[in-house]
Structure 1
């Protein structure tokens, strides 16, 4: 069997799974078809001989395509929503009992709730809660730490289950922590920085952001506090993929976006993005004071 025939057969074997994942993320059968078709085109442009798990590779590609589509949809203020039709969608586990549960879960009510989530939040929830992908794999797809990805999926789950009863109170508390960190950073107040950081906080910059700082990933409250001491002079508080964070402008242009993971009154993770392609896709908005 030649490689082209093998790739076509493998893709067809994964098509139902890919369409199911795309539909749950996008809420649109036509957009799901577009995402799957784009994955097929990318597969044909890729040397797949070194791909050990083609199904996993395709799922990652479709998820990234869907994330880009969701972010583009947010900028256009468009929220396509189609009534679910379950006949053409099957569960990748091919378990009849679980398929029945999936059919019930992908109803109009769920799709309506999912469309209120930020793009990365929605992708994290769908891939983990519906398709059992590990947080480490999802983190690589959405460009966040595993801790941040877990928090995104958890918040999405609470909203879907209708148990996120005090979002305004929780948001305001987190905003106070984010702004306290920002103020302490500007003042160079090491003690105040440490006070709002979890002992095992992780700072993870992408490759471009690392060039602006002092290297790559850092762990520990004192290490991260030292990094941020006296900095953040041009940063402003913002929502980044639905979570609190900052944007940093240099010469009037946004050069860095920072996403925070906050829980139990502490900052658990700080993710910094400066890659221009990533900045073009991330969903953020500045918070007014």
Structure 2
């Protein structure tokens, strides 16, 4: 029997690539999106992640179909109106930017994690992986963007504490620059100072997550924030063209991630 995953926000970008990689690895993959679309081979469900009842219905369907959930990839996200939240100063923006960047970018991840944990803890296994970024460490895009990503890291850390001993693992993943279709369509060689040639393919992120889920030492990462480029290097994974992507840790100040302790036993994988 194949393992079952749910990728929220799986119709495009990172979510679509993650779902595609998991399908290729033999997973049964559910994806959510507002319009119920997803990559070939996925079971696509329409879901507005600001609607708690709609989210509950998604998990009820998965439980009814499979009676199990092995992996939740928290990836749902919504941009502020006009995407101006990534160019204007915080005092120049309407305060309802909060409703997308925090309401979807953070709260929706928490809601999905609650439902996933209820299924996983009963079975004694599972992985909850939330898509974060280096915006937790340095200013990236906007104040609210950074707040949401830092919140995801702390969420994984505290969830890991409460999940200890259950067999369920919670992590936060710092992705680097991602070669999405939208970014590649711009025809540029670099973005925000980072090379597209050394950026991450969305499918690379999915391969990293699949390898992490199968890692016999998975529970040692419970509550940790992990850099996907570094984790991929440890697993021997590359982009679609065979090149390894760069970690942006040094560009954002270096240092340890969560948990912020000096006794980091796996420095190349955090």
Whether the TM-score (by the shorter chain) exceeds 0.5 is: no
Considering fraction of residues, name the structure with more helix.
1
TM superposition score normalised by structure 2:
0.31
Larger radius of gyration: 1
TM superposition score normalised by structure 1:
0.30
